[in-house]
C-alpha cells in the first residue's frame, strides 16, 4: 500500500481548496489512470511516518504507467501527479505557446532550474507536477484527451480547475485570461533508474537521498 493517509508536516494554514484535496486524497493516493482506474501493477513505496513528517522523498515505480495515465502520490502533504504523455500531446504543446502566460517557464519559482522549455520535464513523455491550482489551491481535473471541451472547443489536453475555470496544458503551463497567475509547480525529482522516480530530491543531490 502506498500511503497510509495524509499529514501536513508544514503545519501551515490549509486553505479551502487544499482541504478539499486532503479530504479526497485518501481515495486517490496510489491510484492511477484517467478517471482513477486502479492499476495494481503500479506500485510506490514510501518512507516511515517519521521520515514523512520531515518531508522525506517519495519513490515511485512507473514501469506500468501507460500513455494517458496518471499516478498520484503524496509528498509533503501535496498531491504529486506523474503523467505519461502521448506523442500527439507532445506535438501539441509547442502550438499552444501564444495562448499561455509563461510558455517558456521563465518564472523560476514554479520549477527547478533543470526543468526547462515547453515540456517542463526531464524525460519528454513523463510529466511530474504538484497537482494544486496556483490560484487558490484546488486540485484541477485532468482532461488529457485532445478533443473539444465545454470550457474550450480547441482543447489540446491539459488540466481544468472547475473552482474558477483556470486552464493548464499537459505541461502544467497556465493559459492567459484565467485566474491562476502561474504555471503548476514542478517538484524536485530525479530518475533512480529508467522506471523509478524519486520526488523531493534534485538530481544533483541524488547521492545523498534517503
Q: Is 34 in the site for ligand FES (CB under 6 A)?
A: no
Asked if 22 is part of the footprint of ligand FES (rule: CB under 6 A), the reply reads: no
With helix as H, strand as E and coil as C, how does 39-87 read?
Answer: CCCCCEECCCHHHHHCCCCEEEECCCCCCCCEEEEEECCEEEEEEECCH
C-alpha cell at 112: 527547478
137 vs 200, which CB is nearer to ligand FES?
A: 137
Nearer to ligand FES, 85 or 135 (CB): 135
* Cβ nearer to ligand FES, comparing 155 with 190: 155
- Contact call for residues 93 and 105 (beta carbons, < 8 A): no
How far apart are alpha carbons 105 and 117 in whole angstroms?
Answer: 6
Query: Of 111-119, 122-130, 134-142, 191-199, which segment contacts ligand FES by CB under 6 A?
Result: 134-142
> Three-state SS for 191?
strand
- String of contacts with ligand FES for each residue 82-121, x by CB under 6 A: ----------------------------------------
Asked if residue 164 binds ligand FES (CB under 6 A), the reply is yes
The grid cell for 6 is 495524509
CA angle in degrees (0–180, nearest 5) for 182-83-183: 5
Nearer to ligand FES by Cβ, of 17 and 103: the residue is 17
Question: Is residue 133 a contact residue for ligand FES (CB under 6 A)?
Answer: yes
Amino acid at each position: 500500500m502506498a500511503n497510509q493517509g495524509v499529514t501536513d508536516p508544514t503545519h501551515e494554514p490549509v486553505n479551502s481548496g487544499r482541504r478539499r484535496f486532503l479530504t479526497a486524497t485518501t481515495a486517490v493516493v496510489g491510484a492511477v489512470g484517467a478517471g482513477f482506474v486502479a492499476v495494481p501493477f503500479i506500485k510506490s513505496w514510501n518512507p516511515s511516518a517519521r521520515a514523512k513528517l520531515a518531508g522525506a522523498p517519495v519513490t515511485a515505480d512507473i514501469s506500468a504507467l501507460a500513455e494517458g495515465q496518471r499516478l498520484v502520490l503524496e509528498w509533503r502533504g501535496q498531491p504529486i501527479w506523474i503523467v505519461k504523455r502521448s506523442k500527439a500531446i507532445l506535438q501539441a504543446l509547442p502550438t499552444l505557446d501564444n495562448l499561455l502566460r509563461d510558455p517558456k517557464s521563465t518564472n523560476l519559482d514554479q520549477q527547478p532550474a533543470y526543468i526547462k522549455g515547453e515540456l517542463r520535464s526531464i524525460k519528454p513523455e513523463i510529466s511530474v507536477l504538484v497537482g494544486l491550482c496556483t490560484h487558490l489551491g484546488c486540485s484541477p481535473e485532468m482532461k488529457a484527451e485532445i478533443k473539444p471541451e465545454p470550457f474550450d472547443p480547441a482543447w489540446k489536453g491539459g488540466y481544468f480547475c472547475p473552482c474558477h475555470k483556470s486552464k493548464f496544458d499537459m505541461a502544467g503551463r497556465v493559459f492567459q485570461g484565467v485566474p491562476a497567475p502561474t504555471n503548476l509547480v514542478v517538484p524536485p525529482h530525479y530518475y533512480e533508474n529508467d522506471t523509478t522516480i524519486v520526488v523531493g530530491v534534485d538530481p544533483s543531490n541524488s547521492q545523498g537521498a534517503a
